[in-house]
């Protein structure tokens, strides 16, 4: 029989001269991860999601160039669904998030839309983002690109290089 790749070792400890044996096992392989540390692969959770419009979107209003929301991402198998958990802009009246996609290791792909009603904006759905994103996780942050249309008011911009960041909360 072959030796195991990671043989366990045993030890005995004496406690206060009572000779109570304690047995413990130590693996020679693997590592210990501190509680609360970032997962290596994507997993479900609460995230701050930020979309920054492409540099080519010069006609887009400043308020529509950089938007942030709190989203929940739930993974079942490799499928991922996103939903709104709140927003950080006091002028936001309501937000609708509809995102569906997949996760594979550190990679996340989602497609769908985000719509916002914003106080002081004439359009009922003042901000909108429609398209797909691809992001890679490093620690607690996923960064990537959003390919699609972002709009604010009556102006919109379609690009393949809007920036997207999801930060685990």
| pLDDT band at 132; cut points 50, 70, 90 | very high
pLDDT digits (tens, 9 = 90+) for 37-79: 666 789 999 999 999 999 999 999 999 999 999 999 999 999 9
Q: Give the closest residue to 113 by CA, choosing from 84, 75, 87.
A: 84
Greater pLDDT, 27 or 3: 3
Q: The tokens of 139 are what?
A: 């620690």
| CB-CB contact of 64 with 151 (8 Å) | yes
Residues near 43 by beta carbon (within 8 Å), at least 6 away in sequence = 75
Evaluate if residue 101 carries a pLDDT over 50. Answer: yes
Q: How far apart are CA 36 and CA 33, in angstroms?
A: 9
The CATH class for the domain spanning 45-168 reads mainly beta
> Sign (positive/negative) of CA torsion 35, 49, 67, 138?
positive
Q: How far is the CA of 26 from the CAs of 6, 20, 21, 32, 168, in angstroms?
A: 10, 19, 16, 11, 32
């Amino acid at each position: 029989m072959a030796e195991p790749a990671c043989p366990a070792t045993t030890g005995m400890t004496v406690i206060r001269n009572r000779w109570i044996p304690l047995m413990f096992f130590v693996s020679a392989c693997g590592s210990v991860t501190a509680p609360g540390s970032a997962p290596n692969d994507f997993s479900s959770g609460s995230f701050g999601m930020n979309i920054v419009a492409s540099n080519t979107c010069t006609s887009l209003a400043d308020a529509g160039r950089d938007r942030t929301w709190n989203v929940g991402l739930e993974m079942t198998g490799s499928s991922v669904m996103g939903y709104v958990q709140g927003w950080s802009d006091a002028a936001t009246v309501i937000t609708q998030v509809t995102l569906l996609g997949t996760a594979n290791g550190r990679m996340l792909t989602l497609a769908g839309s985000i719509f916002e009603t914003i106080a002081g904006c004439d359009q009922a759905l003042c901000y909108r983002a429609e398209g797909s994103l691809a992001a890679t996780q490093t620690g607690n942050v996923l960064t990537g690109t959003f390919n699609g249309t972002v709009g604010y008011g009556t102006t919109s911009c379609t690009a393949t290089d809007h920036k997207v960041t999801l930060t685990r909360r």
